[in-house]
Structure 1
Amino acid sequence: MIMRLLLLFSVLVIASCHTAKLDFKPSEDSLPDAKVAMYYEQEIVIGEKIEANPAFLNKDNTSVTVSPDNSGLQVLPKNKSQRDGSPVYNALVVKGTPLTTGEVHITISGYTYGTMYTRSRKFNKTYTLRIK
């Protein structure tokens, strides 16, 4: 009986310390193509399974860059905010009117906060967007 309890306790301790992978949607490394001079909008969702904690990603622990800078596109937090009004980065929107043909690279990087059950960890995702 003691061995069963010890085994159960061990399984619970190990299971509670897992580090789940942070999921991105779309999960591919590319976004749907855009056309020059036509409005473009695409949503990116980060950590869909952690929506219960809307402050999971914010301006303090998340960085978004668009390269080249003069592409005509920008990445903004979707219409979600914390209690203090600051934006939440779990849902982002790539939008704007592309100015030239070529490739645009959107890099989302940062780190997650550790909790009682998970460790803090870094993440980095780069999307490629072709403009035709």
Structure 2
Amino acid sequence: MKYLIYILILIVSGCAGTHPTVLPEKNNLKVATVNHKYRDVIDLKGGAVNESSVSVSITPNGSGLVWDPEEVKYGFGGEDGINKDYHRIIITGIPKKSGDYSVTVSGFTLGTMHSGKDFYKKYKIKIK
């Protein structure tokens, strides 16, 4: 009987996937200044993501800020290339006008051994 209980615990624990975490945990990104370069990073931890499973929006439009996944250079078999890493979202640009803006990161992790999980996080950026 103990053997059966151990087997059931092992099976059930194998079905429990990790929940994705969007970092930083705080709800505010770094303060930006009009006409000065800006850069901040949002990290997605705890699951596999790709281009079709991650959505990022910066509102309202016209802030001068954009987002891109981190680009990782590699070399393999004598050929060089660039991979886009959607676990690391880079917010960059030169802000055009002051105000309060928001960055929304949402999506889902891809199911591998565990089923995928949804994530959602909204940040504020103050542009002075």
TM-score by length of 1: 0.82
Partners of 1:112 and 1:21 lie apart in 2 by: 9
2:52 alignment partner, SS class: coil
Matches within 5 A, 1:27-38: 27-38=25-36
1:33-70 CA-partner distances (Å, limit 9, x unpaired) = 111111110111101x55xxxxx222111111111120
Q: How far did 1:85 drift?
A: 5.4
Q: How far did 1:121 drift?
A: 2.2
Which is worse superposed, 66-75 or 120-129?
Answer: 120-129
Q: Residues 110 and 124 of structure 1 are in contact (CA less than 8 Å); yes or no, is this contact kept in structure 2?
A: yes
Q: Which of the residues 92, 96, 99 maps onto 1:99? A: 96
Pairing 1:71–2:69 present = no
Q: Residues 105 and 127 of structure 1 are in contact (CA less than 8 Å); yes or no, is this contact kept in structure 2?
A: yes
The residue aligned with 1:53 is none
In structure 2, what residue type is equivalent to 1:63? S
Q: How far did 1:19 drift?
A: 2.9
1:74-101 CA-partner distances (Å, limit 9, x unpaired) = 1111113799956231011111111111
The residue aligned with 2:107 is 110
Aligned identity (percent) is: 28
User: Would the alpha carbon gap of residues 97 and 23 (structure 1) be closer, same or farther in structure 2, given more than 3 Å must change?
Assistant: same
Q: Over aligned residues, Cα RMSD in angstroms? A: 2.1
The residue aligned with 1:45 is 43
In structure 2, what residue type is equivalent to 1:131? I
Return 5+ residue gaps in structure 1 as ranges.
51-55
In structure 2, what residue type is equivalent to 1:4? K
2:62 alignment partner, SS class: helix
1:89-122 CA-partner distances (Å, limit 9, x unpaired) = 1011111111111111111111111122x21222
TM-score by length of 2: 0.85
In structure 1, what residue type is equivalent to 2:22? F
The residue aligned with 1:21 is 19
Q: Residues 21 and 119 of structure 2 are in contact (CA less than 8 Å); yes or no, is this contact kept in structure 1?
A: no
Aligned length: 123
